[in-house]
Structure 1
Amino acid sequence: MKRSLLFFALLLFGASFLAAQSASLGGKVTEEGKDPVVYGSVALYQNGVLKSVVETDIDGNYNFSNLDPATYDVEFTYLGLQTKRIEGVLIRSGKAVTLNAELSPEGILIQGVEVTAYKVPLVEQDNTTQGATLTSDQIRSLPTRNINALAATTAGLATADEGDGINVRGSRNDATNYYVDGVRVQGNLIPESEIDQLQVITGGVEARYGDVTGGIISITTKGPSDKFSGGIEAETSKYLDPYENSLVGVNFSGPILRNKKGVSILGFRVASRFTYQLDDDPSAVPIYRIKDEVLANLEANPVIVKGGSPFVAADFLTNDDVNVLDVRPYEERSQYNINGKIDARLSDAIDITLSGNYNDREDQFTPGENSSAGPSWRTLNSHNNPIQYDTDYRVNFRIRHRLGGGSTGEGADRKVSAIQNASYTLQASFENETTDVSDPVHRDNYFDYGYIGKFDVDYIPVFEVDADELGNIFLNHVDYREVLRGYDPSNSPNPVLANYNNTFNLPTNETLNSEQPAYAIQNFFGNNNNRTIDDLYAINGRVTDIFTNSWNFHTNVGSIYNRSFKQDNDVTIFNANASFDLVPGGSEKGRHNIQLGIAYEGRTDRQYDVNNPRRLWTAARQNANGHIQGIDRENADTLGLYSQLYDPAGIIDPFFDAPILSLTLTNPTDARFYKAIRESLGLSLDTYVNVDGLTPDQLDLSMFSAKELNDQFILSYYGYDYLGNEFDGTFEDFFTARGDDNIRTFPVAPARPLYTSAFIQDKFTFRDIIFRLGVRVDRYDANTQVLQDPYSLYAIQGASDFHNNFGGDRPGNIGDDFRVYTDTENGESIRAYRDGDNWYQADGRPVNGPQEIEGIRSGLVFPKYQDPRAQEANYIKSEDFNPESAFKDYEVQLNVMPRLAFSFPISDQANFFAHYDVLVQRPNSNTIATALDYFYFVERTGTQTFDNSSLRPERTVDYEVGFQQALTTSSAIKISAYYKEMRDMIQLRTFFPVPIVGNYTTFDNQDFGTVKGFSFGYDLRRTRNLSLNANYTLQFADGTGSDTESQRGLTNRGNLRTLFPLTFDERHRLNVVADYRFSRESGPRVAGAYILANAGINLQAVAVSGRPYTAKQVAEELGGSGTIGAINGSRKPWNYTLNLRIEKNFTVGNNIGLNVYMRISNLLDTRNTINVYPVTGDPEDDGFLRSAFGQNQITTISNSQRELQSYLASYQWRLLNSDFYSLPRRIFVGASVDF
């Protein structure tokens, strides 16, 4: 209760002041004689646009607060003194920049403005936030366009390969947050050409940042300019490498409206880019792809008969049947991006910004491409690769109001206020992400996925021979039987799958099973020895498993991506921030920069997944006639006589007739299909329906009830009903909602987690030491129902209730809420107690686990349920089910996070800094456990890992100390040491014992990790032609789990608490960025021209020690088993990468700038090892063929009808995995024009 009151107190306090950004600029303005300039004007410009104006106080001090991180020009003006302009002042987020100015008396300079260039200090005075900042010019010069790769030049950041996920100082990659213009974003980022400033925060996180446990990558976009300008860029690798990576982009910027003074008060910037990649993840190893003519033959006859047995035809391919490619086929990716920004200056005190971003991406991919085992589509079926469509858009609105407060009064009565630079900012953002993944041909035509052809199935009556007491023989009608009469695949949308049946040589223009008459007599005539539909290799909704792949390495030809998936996520964010400067004793005696604010984020996540559309035919087949229970001879009606039957002697006897009896019909619960299909076809309920004789356009999901589809595990959804219509109801609606026909519809509520926060922070200087003190409170609410007890689907009685109801003595150490287990179902004799994860004997003695309790260790447990109806079989599926007997509201999580940092400038040449942070991040994966999951809890326990909506936020405690020292006037070093503890990290967990199912696997907050690191940085500012930035990181990242599923297969051993190196641990990483360039009139001179003027070369070098892996003992196909040594006890080899950019700038006319460049990624085409096979430690040999098991496999194949040569070739094609190596060399040429 106290924590809740604290949170809301901060919330209200923040709401009263609203909020701000933390970048600030301040300093002192003096005359040459060192007297302060009193009430002088200081103006701030960005891209020529006036952003803000302040006055100096009586001590000559000025201060801008609540600034956007960017590069500014600062102009100092005072009547009688020369105006001075300092250009290129870099303002970083979270930093207080000091900029002093000395003005000359007017007349020393003839006219105009004294202009100087800002020089970024080698040693920052404010070192309270750690990381690095890249400006737009630096980004443009680097030989990469990927934002993660740009960020990875920072010390402490690790990435396996260019563009891969970022690990910040040993944290998981999902602990890295991205911000664009101060708002956290979930989807695509903006093009790097639109970045004005990219800041990487690795430590010393300000209180205004929350919901993060790793690091922050914050992007500030470019804004409007004072004059109309634009740019065009184009880049391609076509003809230079095989991957054809190309882009083209344009941007325009300028004023829309000016005031009477000619100052822009409304401006815009818009930019767009289109990117195309023939191969979006190039391979460093050869790609094996079947030749077109061989593919055509395989598709015509995918199954062959050899020695009287059927085989997959692809099992007999050799190296002569494949092409060796440099490019992964059918891996195209295209993306269109547009960004816009409008800035309006309503007055000197109020400005607003409206910005937006739109991304549309189409990405074709290969299923199973980089999986460590199982078949891949690459070699035989990549032309059927599915396509993923992603669309993402964001809209961001901000209003900022500077209230001032610097001084009051006029003339001699003018006084400096103790509260200065007061301002507040209101910001709202909306983001939507949609994803659609499906087969590129069938898309959402779900019944096309499994359709093979039209099967004419006849339902014939079945009779049995009987005799009366006098020996008279007669026939009884006992059943009906399916007989295949015809097969027509001519209109199949999956013709290659239909060809799987070619070996049967079934005629398509004549009747099948013609020898079978229109009836059968059991054990006498027309017995079921004819060809049935189930004999075929491919029927509607099914292909025989043994023919779906070749050697279990390659997916067979004709395979269809058996999934249609869509996702729709909305994020609404509101931030209110405020800031002001408190100067109680005047600006000369210190300044407190106070910041505070609140934030709200609401998500609505929806997902609709038809995860096995082929099974729809199975569902239709099972439900079409499921209401027919056969023939009940005792109660059946006689419908007529069946004449012209053969007599027992086999001769047609016109007088030998048999009665046809009526079928027994039922009305299945929650069933719809059997009625709907007959209504569609105009058939009565007592007529059999041949589903396999229908075409896809005759079927629709709406014909089924929700339960008919869910019973087949065809669907997975939330935020939708079972038909894919958006649903905005509640968790409880799943159990109560019904359609117009009173059949339960089982809609699932969307995931709607809520996140709110409040913070307050004070940054001040005390005896030259800059302190930053802050506290943040985060509130996370999953906003859904969760299991009351993870050990049981239904709530279990507490000890107090049990003993009150059934008597008996309760041991003194057993609490009121300890759960009670009895010795029999619904018994009254206690077997054990449980408090959370702690178990107790019936007499109260604690034990180490349930395995130590007799009768419990087997997993067969009998809890005493709170609701007696829970004893019923599958009570949750009952129409009388009460959700309160199983579920409760999520327990809201409140977390208080103190933040402390200080920076001690020993001089302007040296600085000592340190920080202590407590960071908390809400669970960002595995949190959506729906009512649908629990409805099938018993059925899915053996095959499904359940998400857990009860997950709590993860927590990190971070410490760092460091020192920065200037070595010369152009170089400096920076040294720091850091330590962090990561707690409550998400990991798999198996709960045991659990009633009915024994155990199940879900996720829980149980991982722990520590990171110890040291970083060294060297910064050489441009000296003559060279600038150099280098950093080295030594790190030890250990923990109980590297990701949420790293303990898969180990959870049955209990909760592992042993620390081992994390899979992304890098002991050593060295980054070097060297930039060598000539200025306008420098370099070699030929015929009077400086041929290398404005030319430059940028070289990026990376050296990284190998990441850990777990060595295995027993070689298996594409893997291994039996751990050798410790988990992650072995290391992969070092990786080395060089990237290069060569460029030259030209000036065309007066206002047109041309930049021509070449950039090369992985200059030396180094084949760096990213992954290895665990037995050999080799990326190209798993060791299986040389093992005893492999030799047995070879012997078995040699003695079979299959070819060993084909097996070995196929094995090699699959063994080479492009994911085991870094990206190969890619060469780009490009040009950009600015005007």
Structure 2
Amino acid sequence: MLQKYWLSLLLLLFPMIVFAQAGKIRGTVVDTKSKEPLIGANIVVEGTNLGASTDADGSFLILNVPVGTYSIKTSYIGYRSSTTSNIRVNSQLTTEIHVDLSSEDVQVQAVEIVAERPLINKSATNAVRIIDADFFDNLPARGLDAAIVLQPGVVERDGNFYIRGGRPDETSFTLDGVGIKDIVNGGRSVNISAEAIEQVQVLTGGYTAEYGGASAGLVRSDLKTGSEQWKFTGLGETDNYSSLGKKALGGYSYGYSDATITAGGPIASQSLRFFGSAEFQKYGDPGTPLLQTNGSIQAVDIPRVWDGYDFVGVRMYPTVTPTHPNDYMTDTMNLVARPGNTMGGNDTRTSMSGTLSYALSELQVKASGSYSSNSGQFTTTTANLFNQDRLGKYDKADGFANLKATYWLSPKTSIEAAYSYTFSNEEQYDPAFGSGADKIKLYGDSAANAAKGYTLRSDGINFPAYQILLGNQTDAVGELPAFNQAGTVVQGYFKSKLIQSGLRADIFSQISKTVELKFGGEYSSATYRRFNPAGELTWVQNFKDSTLNPTDLSPTGKLAQRLRVYGPDNLGYDVFGNETSSDLKYEGATLDLGPRNPITGAGYLQSKIELQDIVLNLGLRYDYFSSDGIDWENPHSITFVDSLAAIQSTNFKKSPAHSYVSPRIGFSFPVTDQTVFHAQYGRFIQQPRLSESYRGTPLFYNIIKGGFFYQNPAAFGIEPEQTTSYELGFQQQVGENAALDVTAFYKDIVGQVTYVNMTSTSDVHGGYVAYVNGDFATTKGLEFKFTLRRTNRVQASINYTLSDARGTGSTPNALAGAWGSPLGGGVFTPKYIVPLSFNQAHRGSMSLDYRFAKNDGGPILEQMGLNILAQFNSGTSFTRLVFNTPDNATDPRFRAPVEEIGASTTPWYFQLDARLDKSFSLGPVVLNVYVYVINLLGTDNATDAFVRTGDPKNDGWLGTSEGRNKALTYGTDAGLYGQMYNTFIGGRNGATSNFGPPRQIRFGVKLEY
């Protein structure tokens, strides 16, 4: 009842999930000679309907200025007007300017001033890293993520961001004010082109009370809007200067290309403006590990990119082929590993975004949105060298839409309301039959495969894979890969759909020149569906089993019951992949769960006080979370309906909703115009990612009744995690053109998801594994940022972070294989605090840009620039292990540590990138040609290591007594065994994921009109 009341209150009082994305301009206007304030001077933000007049102190304040760069025109009767350009407005911050006006008695023309962007901002009460659109222009990389990872406090690993020691799902993202965080898997759910971005703010610590859903960091991005006059850009770049696998200019081509266009300007009048962008990006490197040449077994001729060996006449056995289906025979093949490094990506992406803004004096309306789709084929593994055509395919799509209106009740008070909608879909499928769950039954159908040109041994059974023989042995070498025959079905089926919609309302009032008050609320709901069946290859056998009545496709029929035995993981879909709207209950059991519908709500009160000597941000936030997850009535004794391979419905209950109140306090102390101290304290609450909480009930049955070891089980009754954050820092301007920013931080994180073994008091099932709240972490560190604005053609930025992140688990399943269970059903508390696996004690970057301006440097060097980007880190923590098998012992039950957890670190990492470009002015058109190189030095940068040796290039198996003895059993092929093992598994060639990007050379051209 309380939940319904709360939700109704939110809907009535706080109609959204969009955050204000605007700033202020504050300033003074004085007489040039006397320095007396000019009362009633007019200030206009050119190209907008925004402006103000000065008061008795000569001061003015312009509110709700959208993020962007502006020119400010100041005029006063009897004085020459003045225009100040290059005024940068940042979201949620105040930009200050000072204007001197000369009397008309002084014989001067109207004054035009190009303002220097301030190096410090005293209105910021926490660490805010601002990335403007022009930063992307000179960066020797592409994309939004490439800029985010350069900021202090940010670590990137495997495409995930770890901010100040937080897990990836603890970082939130907004785009044009819309929350675009993937609440199920973490990370960003919407893709956007860098050319469409006006500004990015990376908040690595505290933020005000109007922001929630993040306990580690917040990344705010704003889309560009239309300008006063129409502007067009076109960009194209590629690394296709050479064929795949052929070395040229010291590097290789990876099939990369990118084409982007943008357009923006007024429609009919300056009040209505449009901006749009479209990007097409492609990677065409399939990552084929080896190339088969001149052997009787033929492979698809796709070149590879590894330093390795030539294996001539390798014996393959046993195999059954379509030409001799009943006999096991020996065959031979020749393998060639070509030189280079691997990228491994076969993906095509299209992204579009746009904004439409309409502004009157009292009303501003802005609509924005994006759509992105990408399709591709999963990268090749050694096992599918001969099976290129049957590699699985995927299709993904995401997007958002936002409509926001701001109405000014008075010059100082406004109300803002908005509606937002986001979605993300994904589907994976076998390429022979295409998308659609209705095709699954064809995957293993021999007749259907024959019609597509593929031969299966029989329904649901592939032909055996080719396996390697060495020496005089007649048994295959188990640790070396088997090679699937052409046409082997290797891809299962998967689809998911996430839809989120939100409402938000905010009321803002500038109560006085120094005090602003803001309050509001938000409401967000989501619908999530996932269909992840099991045993797809054998579905055909069940559809042809007459005893199962295969024409009956009802979700409670015999066929459906048989398919559930495999343990599918489905939510919001029945066992056949059809959408459902509610849980399916039958004969006392819950067979399938309906779509999950998590809800969040919040209300906040925020006050900002900007005095001459101090700036205060004081806020209070109320958060409400309802995950729509599953909990147990009694987790230690669960009952089943075995005839249906299901769990009785009486065992389940809905996870309870949770609510919290969080204070947020920030201070900024401007000691002088060039020295600012700041301090921040806050409590931050967020729902952990929901992927662990959302599992299908057939999977529950297998986990609990089967009692098997699962490294990724289900979560039950998960509560939000809580973070307490402290931050202290200062900004110091050094001379006229440089500034130093130093920030210290400390965080306590509790309630993170962890892995436990649940005890059982039941006679019908034993203990089982599950996720619960229990992990905690403590992180602390120092962040340094040095900025040099362009001086004598040089612009520089240096970032460095010293950090120490420790906790009881780096991931939810970090304790998989370790025994521990909640006592009496309480919260499990891990006891060992260790370095987190993503912590990098030392991390930094340096960007140096040397550039000639227009009419500078002569005809050759004019408008030419060189950007050098260096990135480094001290490596991440890992634990060396001992085990006696020829693999990396991914199952924690069969390995043991030889040192304290997290005692080792990977080697130092150093990457140097560079970009060289030159612009040509051709009337109204500017042409820029460029080349940039990622990993200019071609360094083998280790990002991970083999846990047996700590070496990224050698897993150590061949150095163990077991490995040496195994090699000796192959007689004269002992050396060949070592070469093949290193190539496929345990050496540099078998460790593609242990290293950073290879050298990549890209050429491009950009046109601006």
Same fold at TM > 0.5: yes
Q: In 2, are the aligned partners of 1:728 and 1:750 still within 8 Å (CA)?
A: yes
Q: What SS does the corresponding residue of 2:946 show, helix, strand or coil?
A: coil
Match of 1:36 in 2: 37
Distance 1:287 1:230 in 2: 42
Alignment of 1:1059-1098 (within 5 A): 1059-1083=833-857, 1085=858, 1090-1098=859-867
Match of 1:573 in 2: 502
Match of 1:748 in 2: 593
Distance 1:194 1:542 in 2: 48
Residue 1043, structure 1, aligned to residue 811, structure 2: yes
Distance 1:601 1:323 in 2: 52
Query: Aligned in 2, Cα 1:304/1:221: closer, same or farther, shift over 3 Å?
Result: closer
Residue 426 of structure 1 is aligned with which of 404, 417, 432?
Answer: 417
Residue 918 of structure 1 is aligned with which of 647, 662, 683?
Answer: 683
Q: What SS does the corresponding residue of 1:354 show, helix, strand or coil?
A: strand
Q: In 1, are the aligned partners of 2:17 and 2:419 still within 8 Å (CA)?
A: no
Residue 179 of structure 2 is aligned with which of 157, 171, 184?
Answer: 184
Match of 1:135 in 2: 132
How far residue 357 of structure 1 moved from its aligned partner, in angstroms, is 0.8
One-letter code aligned to 1:909: Q
Match of 2:931 in 1: 1158
One-letter code aligned to 1:959: Y
Query: Aligned in 2, Cα 1:26/1:7: closer, same or farther, shift over 3 Å?
Result: farther
**Structure having the higher Rg:** 1
Distance 2:319 2:93 in 1: 72
Match of 1:511 in 2: none
Alignment of 1:312-331 (within 5 A): 320-324=334-338, 326=340, 331=345
Query: Aligned in 2, Cα 1:35/1:16: closer, same or farther, shift over 3 Å?
Result: farther
Match of 1:147 in 2: 144
Residue 913 of structure 2 is aligned with which of 1134, 1139, 1149?
Answer: 1139
Query: Aligned in 2, Cα 1:387/1:707: closer, same or farther, shift over 3 Å?
Result: closer
Residue 452, structure 1, aligned to residue 451, structure 2: no
Distance 1:1068 1:16 in 2: 40
Match of 2:95 in 1: 97
Query: Aligned in 2, Cα 1:245/1:544: closer, same or farther, shift over 3 Å?
Result: closer
Distance 1:153 1:790 in 2: 45
Deviations 1:344-384 (A, max 9, x none): 12x211111111211110121137x5xxxxxx535444443
Match of 2:224 in 1: 222
Deviations 1:76-113 (A, max 9, x none): 233333222221211222322222222222354655x4
Residue 624 of structure 1 is aligned with which of 546, 553, 562?
Answer: 546
Match of 2:760 in 1: 993
Q: What SS does the corresponding residue of 2:290 show, helix, strand or coil?
A: strand
Distance 2:744 2:549 in 1: 66
Distance 1:42 1:1060 in 2: 57
How far residue 1166 of structure 1 moved from its aligned partner, in angstroms, is 0.8
Alignment of 1:768-847 (within 5 A): 768-793=613-638
Residue 561, structure 1, aligned to residue 490, structure 2: yes
Q: What SS does the corresponding residue of 2:50 show, helix, strand or coil?
A: strand
One-letter code aligned to 2:268: L
Q: In 1, are the aligned partners of 2:885 and 2:957 still within 8 Å (CA)?
A: yes
Match of 2:585 in 1: 734
Residue 999 of structure 2 is aligned with which of 1217, 1222, 1225?
Answer: 1225
Q: What SS does the corresponding residue of 2:664 show, helix, strand or coil?
A: strand
Residue 343, structure 1, aligned to residue 357, structure 2: yes
Alignment of 1:351-366 (within 5 A): 351-366=364-379
Residue 1173, structure 1, aligned to residue 959, structure 2: no
Q: In 2, are the aligned partners of 1:1078 and 1:1093 still within 8 Å (CA)?
A: yes
Residue 901 of structure 1 is aligned with which of 662, 666, 673?
Answer: 666
Distance 2:645 2:555 in 1: 22
Q: In 2, are the aligned partners of 1:23 and 1:68 still within 8 Å (CA)?
A: yes
Residue 609, structure 1, aligned to residue 607, structure 2: no
Residue 597 of structure 1 is aligned with which of 520, 524, 534?
Answer: 520
Distance 2:31 2:680 in 1: 38
Residue 1104, structure 1, aligned to residue 873, structure 2: yes
Q: What SS does the corresponding residue of 1:614 show, helix, strand or coil?
A: helix
How far residue 736 of structure 1 moved from its aligned partner, in angstroms, is 7.1
Match of 1:495 in 2: 454
Distance 2:867 2:533 in 1: 49
Q: In 1, are the aligned partners of 2:605 and 2:620 still within 8 Å (CA)?
A: yes
Alignment of 1:331-480 (within 5 A): 331-345=345-359, 347-366=360-379, 369=381, 377=383, 379-405=385-411, 421-443=412-434, 444=436, 445-452=439-446
Match of 1:965 in 2: 732
Ranges in structure 1 where 5+ consecutive residues have no aligned partner:
259-263, 370-375, 406-420, 455-488, 499-537, 626-670, 678-699, 738-743, 794-869
Distance 1:1188 1:19 in 2: 62
Q: What SS does the corresponding residue of 1:1070 show, helix, strand or coil?
A: strand
Deviates more, 1:441-450 or 1:173-182: 441-450
Query: Aligned in 2, Cα 1:329/1:446: closer, same or farther, shift over 3 Å?
Result: farther
Deviations 1:29-57 (A, max 9, x none): 22333333333332224xxx315223333
Distance 2:22 2:819 in 1: 45
Distance 1:215 1:624 in 2: 57
Q: In 2, are the aligned partners of 1:960 and 1:976 still within 8 Å (CA)?
A: yes
Distance 2:20 2:451 in 1: 62
Distance 2:621 2:353 in 1: 32
Distance 1:276 1:245 in 2: 6
One-letter code aligned to 1:183: V
Q: What SS does the corresponding residue of 2:976 show, helix, strand or coil?
A: helix
Query: Aligned in 2, Cα 1:896/1:1082: closer, same or farther, shift over 3 Å?
Result: same
Alignment of 1:124-273 (within 5 A): 124-160=121-157, 164-186=159-181, 187-239=189-241, 241-258=252-269, 264-273=270-279
One-letter code aligned to 2:693: T
How far residue 388 of structure 1 moved from its aligned partner, in angstroms, is 1.2
How far residue 784 of structure 1 moved from its aligned partner, in angstroms, is 4.8
Query: Aligned in 2, Cα 1:298/1:273: closer, same or farther, shift over 3 Å?
Result: closer
One-letter code aligned to 1:578: I
How far residue 594 of structure 1 moved from its aligned partner, in angstroms, is 1.1
Deviations 1:589-628 (A, max 9, x none): xx1111222111111111122332112134346x524xxx
Number of matched pairs: 948
One-letter code aligned to 1:950: G
Residue 549 of structure 2 is aligned with which of 667, 672, 677?
Answer: 672
Match of 1:713 in 2: 566
Query: Aligned in 2, Cα 1:330/1:137: closer, same or farther, shift over 3 Å?
Result: closer
Distance 1:322 1:942 in 2: 41
Match of 1:761 in 2: 606
Distance 1:327 1:1143 in 2: 26
RMSD of aligned Cα (Å): 3.5
Distance 1:1050 1:1198 in 2: 41
* TM superposition score normalised by structure 1: 0.72
How far residue 403 of structure 1 moved from its aligned partner, in angstroms, is 2.4
How far residue 882 of structure 1 moved from its aligned partner, in angstroms, is 7.1
How far residue 1047 of structure 1 moved from its aligned partner, in angstroms, is 1.5
Query: Aligned in 2, Cα 1:896/1:554: closer, same or farther, shift over 3 Å?
Result: farther
Q: In 1, are the aligned partners of 2:31 and 2:37 still within 8 Å (CA)?
A: yes
One-letter code aligned to 2:419: A
Match of 2:784 in 1: 1016
Residue 551, structure 1, aligned to residue 324, structure 2: no
Q: In 2, are the aligned partners of 1:4 and 1:894 still within 8 Å (CA)?
A: no
Deviations 1:568-595 (A, max 9, x none): 1111122212211112xxx3xxx11112
Distance 1:125 1:980 in 2: 24
Distance 2:257 2:852 in 1: 29
Q: What SS does the corresponding residue of 1:377 show, helix, strand or coil?
A: helix
Q: What SS does the corresponding residue of 1:65 show, helix, strand or coil?
A: strand
How far residue 72 of structure 1 moved from its aligned partner, in angstroms, is 2.2
Q: In 1, are the aligned partners of 2:967 and 2:977 still within 8 Å (CA)?
A: no
Query: Aligned in 2, Cα 1:87/1:706: closer, same or farther, shift over 3 Å?
Result: farther
Ranges in structure 2 where 5+ consecutive residues have no aligned partner:
182-188, 243-251, 302-314, 469-475, 822-827, 890-894
Q: What SS does the corresponding residue of 2:539 show, helix, strand or coil?
A: helix
Query: Aligned in 2, Cα 1:554/1:962: closer, same or farther, shift over 3 Å?
Result: farther
How far residue 453 of structure 1 moved from its aligned partner, in angstroms, is 5.2
Match of 1:822 in 2: none
